[in-house]
């Protein structure tokens, strides 16, 4: 006998949005790994410049295939650029946190973002979220707290950085929800990348040779360090981030454009799995029992929210009305 979830088919837009988001998170997790690996030897702005330059032609190709260059210059161009600035703040804070904190800790703290997004979706976008989904989201946040239980590195001021990243990321998602009604996904991703490139170049010029990076906190050193001539392998790693950004941003953008943010957002928690896997493979940082309990609660909450969405047949946002994330 079919279960309730099987008896009521999942609306196509929701299923597609979830699949796109899970794929995008998996792609972006590789970028997180690369940036943490290089954070002890190179400056963040150098990696940003190389990443953005590599992503630029790929994003231009996507723009060409989805309406052409005219989609970059619309009445919403200024708003897209401003949104890019917010995304730059979000991702810079997140990357700086990676330099100082374990991957699992950084990702878990960053997952204050889905709660922010849900609250802002209700307050600003007037989306309807039922009490059971609110409870599920709160349960998911409780799972995050279990994973990042007090003590150790969590008392480092760098632990505030992923929370800042979560808040600014949520703001950018809400602004993109409105832009998504008139702008294409590749255009949003292109301008986000352009802001990243311009801001990283300015940072490089201001910070210069990195004379103040010596003996600095790992996050500050990642920010203040001067440019370093990379090895061929490290250069390829930083350039690979550009390919990852182009693919990942497109996947995430489409996810938030084809489904309600309150439906797909819980599946950003899948990033926790990748952070655990990479943490063990590269730093032998295996979660303890409390971490596994937190992951289970977070995953269960996300699946419950999606099941409730399918059961109640809540109205779905169409592609022209969705959120489109990504710098």
Angle at 142 between CA 297 and CA 275, to 5 degrees: 65
> Does 5 score more than 50 pLDDT?
no
Mean per-residue pLDDT, 33-61: 92
% of the chain residues with pLDDT over 90: 29
pLDDT band at 305 (very low <50, low <70, confident <90, very high): low
User: Residue 212: its pLDDT value, please?
Assistant: 66
Return the structure tokens found at 167: 């808040």
* More confidently predicted of 301 and 325: 301
> Does 306 score more than 90 pLDDT?
no
Angle between helices 103-110 and 160-179 (to 10 degrees): 50
- Residue pair 213/29 in contact (Cβ under 8 Å)? The answer is no
Mean per-residue pLDDT, 42-68: 91
Calculated CA dihedral for residues 278, 35, 17, 176, nearest 10 degrees: 150
- Residue pair 132/308 in contact (Cβ under 8 Å)? The answer is yes
- Residue pair 210/153 in contact (Cβ under 8 Å)? The answer is no
pLDDT band at 153 (very low <50, low <70, confident <90, very high): low
Report how far residue 257's alpha carbon sits from residue 254's, in angstroms, rounded to the nearest whole number. Answer: 5
> Does 53 score more than 80 pLDDT?
yes
% of the chain residues with pLDDT over 70: 82
* More confidently predicted of 37 and 286: 37
What is the DSSP secondary-structure string of 25-56? HHHHHHHHHHHHHHTTTS-HHHHHHHHHHHHH
> Does 147 score more than 80 pLDDT?
no
- Residue pair 185/131 in contact (Cβ under 8 Å)? The answer is no
Return the structure tokens found at 218: 């790992």
> Does 296 score more than 90 pLDDT?
no
Question: Among 88-97, 208-217, 233-242, which stretch is predicted with the lowest mean pLDDT?
Answer: 208-217
Q: How many CB atoms lie under 10 A from the CB of residue 131?
A: 7
E strand or H helix at 228: none
**DSSP SS3 for 136:** helix
Residue 324 dihedral angles phi and psi, to the nearest 5°: -130, 105
Report how far residue 309's alpha carbon sits from residue 215's, in angstroms, rounded to the nearest whole number. Answer: 51
Report how far residue 102's alpha carbon sits from residue 79's, in angstroms, rounded to the nearest whole number. Answer: 34
Mean per-residue pLDDT, 248-271: 78
Report how far residue 43's alpha carbon sits from residue 225's, in angstroms, rounded to the nearest whole number. Answer: 5
Question: Among 32-36, 56-60, 312-316, which stretch is predicted with the lowest mean pLDDT?
Answer: 312-316
Q: Exposed, middle or buried by CB within 10 Å (0-12, 13-18, 19+), for 264?
A: buried
Mean per-residue pLDDT, 300-321: 55
Q: Burial code of 163-182, b = ≥16 C-beta within 10 A, e = fewer?
A: bbbbbbbbbbbbbbbbbbee
User: Residue 150: its pLDDT value, please?
Assistant: 57
Mean per-residue pLDDT, 58-87: 90
């Amino acid at each position: 006998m079919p279960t309730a979830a099987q008896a009521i088919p999942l609306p196509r837009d929701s299923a597609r949005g979830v699949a796109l988001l899970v794929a995008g998170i998996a792609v972006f997790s590789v970028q997180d790994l690369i940036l943490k690996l290089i954070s002890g030897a190179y400056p963040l702005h150098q990696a940003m410049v190389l990443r953005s330059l590599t992503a630029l032609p790929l994003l231009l190709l996507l723009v060409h295939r989805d309406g052409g260059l005219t989609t970059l210059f619309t009445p919403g161009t200024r708003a897209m650029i401003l949104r890019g600035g917010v995304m730059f703040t979000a991702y810079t804070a997140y990357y700086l946190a990676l330099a100082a904190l374990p991957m699992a800790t950084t990702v878990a703290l960053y997952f204050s973002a889905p709660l922010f997004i849900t609250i802002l979706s209700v307050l600003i976008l007037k989306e309807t979220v039922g009490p059971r989904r609110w409870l599920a989201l709160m349960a998911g946040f409780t799972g995050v707290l279990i994973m990042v239980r007090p003590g150790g590195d969590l008392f480092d001021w760098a632990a505030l950085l992923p929370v800042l990243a979560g808040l600014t990321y949520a703001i950018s998602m809400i602004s993109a929800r409105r832009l998504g009604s008139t702008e294409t996904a590749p255009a949003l991703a292109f301008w986000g990348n352009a802001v990243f490139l311009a801001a990283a170049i300015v940072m490089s010029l201001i910070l210069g040779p990195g004379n103040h990076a010596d003996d600095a906190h790992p996050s500050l050193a990642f920010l203040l360090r001067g440019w370093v001539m990379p090895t061929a392998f490290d250069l390829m790693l930083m350039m690979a981030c550009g390919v990852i950004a182009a693919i990942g941003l497109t996947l995430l953008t489409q996810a938030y454009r084809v489904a309600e943010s309150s439906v797909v957002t819980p599946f950003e928690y899948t990033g926790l799995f990748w952070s655990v896997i990479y943490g063990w493979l590269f730093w032998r940082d295996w979660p303890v029992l409390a971490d596994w309990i937190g992951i289970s609660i977070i995953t269960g909450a996300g699946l419950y929210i999606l099941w409730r969405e399918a059961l109640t047949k809540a109205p779905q946002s169409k592609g022209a009305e969705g959120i489109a994330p990504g710098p």
